[in-house]
Amino acid sequence: MPEGSGTPQRRVRDRIPRGLWVRMLIYGLVGHLFAGFLVFLFSLGAKG
């Protein structure tokens, strides 16, 4: 049996797909922007 026969499949399984990374980055950025907007709204409400 060749030594590296299972390596490519295992390597693909170990890596997270690029689309998932992009989605996680976008969701993280949007979530932080939304949280910042809520903090901004609450700070405006506390002043008024």
Q: pLDDT 10s per residue in the chain (48 long)?
A: 556 565 556 666 789 999 999 999 999 999 999 999 999 999 999 997
Please report how many Cα atoms fall inside a 13 Å half-sphere around the Cα of residue 11, on the Cβ side.
5
In a domain, 11, yes or no: no
Which residues form the domain of 33? 17-47
pLDDT at 28: 98
| Cα dihedral: 30, 33, 34, 36 (round 10) | 160
* Within-domain flag for 5: no
Identify the sign of the CA torsion 28, 33, 36, 41: negative
pTM for this predicted structure = 0.62
In a domain, 39, yes or no: yes
Instruction: Tell whether 3 is covered by a domain.
Output: no
The pLDDT value given to residue 12: 61
pLDDT on residue 32: 99
Report which residue type is found at 26.
Answer: I
Q: How many domains in the chain?
A: 1
Query: What integer pLDDT is reported at residue 48 of this predicted model?
Result: 77
Could you give the CA distance from residue 38 to residue 31 in angstroms, rounded to a whole number? 11
